[in-house]
Amino acid sequence: MTKGYDPKFQTGRVYTIIEASSAYFEAFGPVLRALQAKGDNVPFQDYLLKYSKVIAPPKYLTEGKDFWDMTPAFKGTLTRHVRILDKWPATSVFGEGVDDTQLAALKHVLTKELAIVQGPPGTGKTYIGLQATRLLLRNNAPVPILCVCYTNHALDQFLEGIYTFEKQIVRLGGRSKSELMQRECSVNARQWQMSGAYYVQRKELLSQLEQLKNMVLQIAAKINAEYVDINILALVFSGAQIQSLTTGRGKKVNDRELVRTWLQEDKKKKNEKNKKTQTNNNNNNRNNASQRQQLNNTNQHLQNEDLYESDEEFADDIDEEELLQLLAEREEYHEPGPRPAGDVFNVQPVEDVDELDEQELLALKASVQNIKNLWQLDLPIRREIHERLLRANRAILVEQLTESSQKYYLKCRELKELNSTRTMAVLRNAKVIGMTTTAAAKNVDLLRSLKPKIVIVEEAAEVLEAHIITSLTKDTEHLILIGDHQQLRPSTAVYALSKKYNLDVSLFERMTNNKIPYRRLLTQRRMRPEISQLISPIYNELNDHPSVLKHPQKVLGIDKNLFFLDHQVLEKTSSESTSKFNDHEVMLVANLCLYLVQQGYKPDKITVLTMYLQQLFRVKEQLRENSKYNEGTNLRIFICSSMLMIE
């Protein structure tokens, strides 16, 4: 065994797979492992554990370094030199676009080492996060700034906003749906090109890995083959004996099929045997139990012999094209480069493995040395010799597979180290790094090396507390949490964890519940007043910005801008799941969408929200079936919880 070789799985061993049907372990495994390794290295313990109400400024924001230029966010000469740790100018100085609560929230974010901002719908949470990032970068705050989100969609949106004023962004992870992020902000983006030596070394490693992969595939195919190659017969038979196989029945058979043909019974002899058996059966007038049993045994014996004649039964189990596709899927991973051999090449366990010692080999040779033509060898003896050779050959192949897998694994490590070195070089030149909480947990060693002092968590109220803790290092000096715990809580895969242990209470909510100072935005700029009134029982201090009064007075073709429709048609439950649906509402919604399109509204400006997944499927299907409505695919249709996550 090669020193340092430690793949997760080893060839020839039997493993038990445990499937978690209610959760995707990959979303939680890295976080749990990161928590195990974290120990007491958690910053801000005075607030997180002791609930201290006095929050200090970030350590990097010392006396004399707090004169900041605010003009990138707010125009006007009076904002060019603002002492942010002191009293700020009046809100009017910062322009008409900002309200009192937004300015207070921005000051809180920039001057408190643990900054929490709650933003009800439409109040500008993301705006505050973007402006804070802009000002931090403009005033030489320590970089890189780490931006963390729970979902890839939220991360892409936030980073796209930052990209409008800062181009040195690296977006880690391979699940981005944003073309901008993929093109300009991935580790492999043009702006992060490395020297030629890196690409030469990487190309050479990839070439070596491809050769080793093909070697392993070939060995795996041989292990699973039901017949040995003709050259393996040379262990027992002489050259002249093997040459005799090319005569008689083997005269027109290629080398690949020769061993299979040799192990099959001569059809002429088989037919004679079947006729004889049939004649004996016809002449047998007694049908006692013992004779019937004997007949069954004979038929079973013939069925066993027929196995050697079926092309399908002994076809190669390994479909190389399918296996290559499987490997490609397994290699599609956040980290560049192939994954370790233990993950990739795990062939089915081989039980029929038995080394052939020298004494056995000599005995086999002696038993057949007087046979000049191997076709004259009795069929049971042929099969017995082949079985021994097959088992012995598999033992050799398993050793070869282990050795090749070790080499592949070590080359994977070389490539991973090369890529890690390259990634670290790229990240050290970035001013903003974005990743999901899962990616942060997977790359905890990388974060320890980068030592980001500023961490911004967007939609923080939707993130499990453990996911945020794993994103922090002992070097974190400034944590900014932006979200709204009164909209959507974190989801747990097991409901009991929420019910019994409050795991659905985010760090954001826990801090606000325990009176840790935070700021709330109170002016909404999105909804018509009649709609914003619906959430006033939850946000009783929420105000409407004057701009929402300028929305068109009425939706075209609709008498009221807000209405509730009641009906008496009961919903149903899907036979395939516990999800519910209502066909009456499906028809109503689909026809209403068609009606709105006929009024001149574009389909991508219409959003349908539904509480149930089955209802979503049926609305989409109804829109597709409606021949008059050929633009239905452009509609935005969401489950309510999903819409909240991308709101």
Total H helices, total E strands in the chain: 24, 15
We find that the CATH architecture of domain 31-166+431-524 is 3-Layer(aba) Sandwich (3.40)
Q: What is the pLDDT of residue 326?
A: 39
What's the CATH number of domain 552-646, 3.40.50.300, 3.40.50.2000, 2.170.140.10, 1.20.120.80? 3.40.50.300
The residue extents of the domains of the chain are 31-166+431-524, 200-282+290-410, 552-646
What is the separation of C-alpha 623 from the centre of its chain, rounded to a whole number of angstroms? 31
Q: Please, what is the average pLDDT of the chain? A: 81
d(CA 408, CA 207): 11
Q: What is the pLDDT of residue 28?
A: 79
Angle at 548 between CA 544 and CA 550, to 5 degrees: 140
Among 269-283, 462-476, 483-497, 513-527, the least confident range: 269-283
Going by pLDDT thresholds of 50, 70 and 90, the confidence category of residue 250 is: confident
pLDDT surpassing 60 at residue 628? no
pLDDT surpassing 70 at residue 636? no
pLDDT surpassing 60 at residue 343? no
Going by pLDDT thresholds of 50, 70 and 90, the confidence category of residue 292 is: very low
The 8-class DSSP code of residue 142 comes to -
User: Do 31-166+431-524 and 552-646 agree at the fold level?
Assistant: yes
Residue 275 or 149, more confident: 149
Q: What is the pLDDT of residue 407?
A: 92
Residue 70 or 279, more confident: 70
Q: What is the pLDDT of residue 311?
A: 32
Neighbours of 558 (CB within 10 A): 13
pLDDT surpassing 90 at residue 454? yes
Residue 551 or 309, more confident: 551
d(CA 332, CA 329): 5
Q: What is the pLDDT of residue 80?
A: 81
pLDDT average, residue stretch 195-203: 88
Q: What dihedral do alpha carbons 377, 379, 382, 383 form, nearest 10°?
A: -170
pLDDT surpassing 70 at residue 295? no
Q: What is the pLDDT of residue 535?
A: 93
Helix (H, G, I), strand (E, B) or coil at 580: strand
Q: What are the beta bridge partners of residue 116? A: 481
d(CA 123, CA 508): 18
Q: Over the stretch 539-578, which tens digit does the pLDDT of each residue have?
A: 999 999 999 988 877 889 998 889 899 999 999 987 777 7
pLDDT surpassing 80 at residue 501? yes
Between strands 523-524 and 543-544, the pairing is parallel
- Residue 335's closest CA among 275, 412, 282, 221? 412
pLDDT average, residue stretch 224-243: 87
- Residue 440's closest CA among 172, 191, 228, 195? 172
Q: Over the stretch 64-106, which tens digit does the pLDDT of each residue have?
A: 788 899 988 887 667 788 899 999 988 888 887 889 999 999 9
Q: Over the stretch 131-170, which tens digit does the pLDDT of each residue have?
A: 999 999 999 999 999 999 988 999 999 999 999 999 999 9
Residue 435 or 333, more confident: 435
Residue 8 or 40, more confident: 40
pLDDT surpassing 70 at residue 516? yes
